[in-house]
Structure 1
Amino acid sequence: MAGTGSGHLREGSLLQVDELVVEFPARRKQVVHAVSGVSFDLVKGETLGIVGESGCGKTTTGRAVMRLEPVASGTVRLNGVDLTALDGEGLRQARRAMQMIFQDPVSSLNPSRRVRDIVREGVDIWGSERPNVDDWVAEVLDSVGLGDEGVLDRRPHEFSGGQCQRINIARALVMEPDVLILDEPVSALDVSVQAQILNLLEGLKTKFGLTMMFISHDLAVVKNISDRVMVMYLGKVCEIANTDDLYADPTHPYSRALLASIPGHTLDLPPANELISGELPSPLDPPTGCRFRTRCPRATEVCGTDEPVLVEVQADHWVACHHPE
């Protein structure tokens, strides 16, 4: 069944991003095409994984949803409110419903402040309907595994990287957000600690009813935590599907190449170097038509002239490719 670029968006979504475009000025009047017409949504209680190589625009997408980056065009609707139409105090008020966790857990925390002040800062600014904020802060810290006596009065340098990321998660959760955006939240951590944080997030998702956008370059990590996965390449969406469907039957050539690069994968795929070649093109001058065509072994003439749109190849499995597998 054919569809338009945003035909896969679902009715009643908590977060709905439609044809998002983010561009940055560069030297000599050039433009960096960081995000080009990206559309996706999140229903309540869902985790969407966003994957792709460095430079594909996944982090910029997350930051643009938060309005931390300027949006050139498109809409971001949260609970039906268009955030791209807001500015000043209106945007500030609406943005309370979203919280973001960043890649570097240590530099995300103010080194001079105690944990109790870091975690409750948002509540101190915005207020809370809870009768006892101190009890709420203690409850959230206990939920992230930092309920030991004395934690509240310690400073970030006294904690490991994994513990600092737990503090960042607690700081986000005390605000009781509608959407939690996680930008490479475990990539700076040891592998054993990564597993602990992922298991923690799974437990917190159930306990707090979290709706999450999980950004990562690691497909193995994304598989373990996501309900749906969106694959991006050079500012464009290649494929969106339920996690099990995507990992069992990747349809876009780029998705297949990414999955083939996972060590120990069990899919019946050629080696990754047969599915992809060359380097990522510059976002200053992206290829015409399909942006993946310069690295795709199946590219034909139509790939250079016509830009593919997302088409539903199976139920809830959307692919933007002229020659899907």
Structure 2
Amino acid sequence: YLYVRQNRPQDALKALNDAVKKQPGFMGALGYLGSAHLRAGQAKKAIEVFRTYKERVPQSPWARVMYARALAYAGQYDAALAETQAVYRDHPDSLAVTVSLAARQAQAKKYDEATATLTSGMAQFGEHPALLTRLSYVQLQQGSAEQALPLAQRAVDALGDGRGEPMAGYAYANLGHAYALLGKKAEALAAFKKAAELGIGIEERLLLLTDERTKPLMQDSANPLAAGTPPPAAVGADTTAAPAPAEEAAESEEDEGLDEGVESWEEDEEWSEADDWSEEELDDEE
């Protein structure tokens, strides 16, 4: 866990692999190992880990959702969607599963279905910032800046300062993206500054950089998100497979931030129907 905090992914993987070998029944370490593989861009290894986890604990919806996320990271969007739909059928009252289902639908380019899932989710759970942020992202993917802007703004308003909320940086990035598409440079730069302070992934920056409409602003020296952004070819979604397009990698990166914002995703905390993701548990795994 400390290695992850210190941005030492290989050391983290070694420590977790050692823990799993010494204590095969240590499910907390096994789950964290799968997450570490995802952070390291090793989707195939993450699939193996989470498949093992869900086979050992078949009643764990968390393991099934994480297995689906790993499939999506590997580009297996249809399989990931089918797995998440099955979890959703079993747990229709889970906010986290609802957000994950919408993410898988968006990755499969089923934007109408993702919109319907998120709209239904807001009717059920209220305007949770994770739902608002995901819906604004879906609108941006379709080029609907006018619809994305108020959604992102409501997410930002709900998050307040945003510190300690993993999704906050992405909410501000979406807000800046919408402002940029609408030609409001000053507002976009202010939102991007806040996103940079709160933290977003390289992949999200790449999505902005590869969008021809926002590329000039991403190359502006006044934009704090421009610093340290590599060219699109520098980032691959899986080091064990062919690199994925920057857009797909960005969706996975944002998905992780949103998921972590719904729940801490700490693998050593059992997730059951009686102990679904609660407001008190909103925390950042990383």
Q: Normalising by the residue count of structure 2, what TM-score does the alignment of the two structures yield?
A: 0.32
Whichever of the two has the greater Rg, that structure is 1
More strand, by proportion: 1
Q: Which structure has greater helix proportion?
A: 2
> RCO greater where, 1 or 2, for CA within 8 Å and sep 6 or more?
1
TM-score (norm 1): 0.29
